[in-house]
Amino acid sequence: MPPWVAALVLLVLLIANYCLALYLRHANDAQHFLAVADWTPFRRVSRPKYLLVQIVFVGIVFLLGLDRGGAAYVFLAGGVLVFLSFHLGLNLQGLLSARGLAHPDAATGALTYSTAAAFRHMAHRILGAAVASLVAGLALGHLALLGGALFLAAAAVGSWRRARNVGAQP
């Protein structure tokens, strides 16, 4: 895949993830069976500033891979592409689940996660995607899937760190 196509695909995935996060926010607000004690730490993904930070980060990783070329390009640029693709799938699953819970007959009762537990839950889902990417990367011997597993694992660690930080607050 030529670098300009990869860059375009990365940009499209970033924007698609951003839009899906906005829809997910509204879908979560529309259902009342699952809640989080404090949604504020999760709302940052719906700010335009967050999208800009992501574009800069992905741009740096892409340019670093492009500069190194060969296997480094596949691992870094392809890894970010895999990461964003898996993230899109996780966001879509969240959106569809939240929409399903918006129906009054979808469940009985209600559950409110602590903010820390919600971050841990997110970390667990991302780690599951990292393991899937790792297994596929090892089975197929493809550096992009292995790079994606690394980026996904880093995101899971970030969510666990946020859970610890939120849980430590009074």
Q: How many CB atoms lie within 10 A of CB 24?
A: 24
Position 47 scores a pLDDT of 82
Residue 169 has pLDDT above 70, yes or no: no
Position 170 scores a pLDDT of 52
Position 48 scores a pLDDT of 87
Position 7 scores a pLDDT of 96
Do 20 and 91 touch, CB atoms closer than 8 A? Answer: yes
On the 0-12 / 13-18 / 19+ scale of CB atoms within 10 A, 30 is: exposed
Rounded Cα–Cα distance for residues 158 and 100 (Å): 28
Position 45 scores a pLDDT of 74
% of the chain surpassing 90 pLDDT? 84
pLDDT in tens, 17-72: 999 999 999 999 899 899 999 888 888 777 888 889 999 999 999 999 999 999 99
Rounded Cα–Cα distance for residues 135 and 148 (Å): 11
pLDDT band at 140 (very low <50, low <70, confident <90, very high): very high
Residue 143 has pLDDT above 90, yes or no: yes
Q: Which whole number is the average pLDDT over 155-160?
A: 96
Q: Which residues contact 86 (CB under 8 A, 6 or more apart)?
A: 129, 132, 133, 148, 152
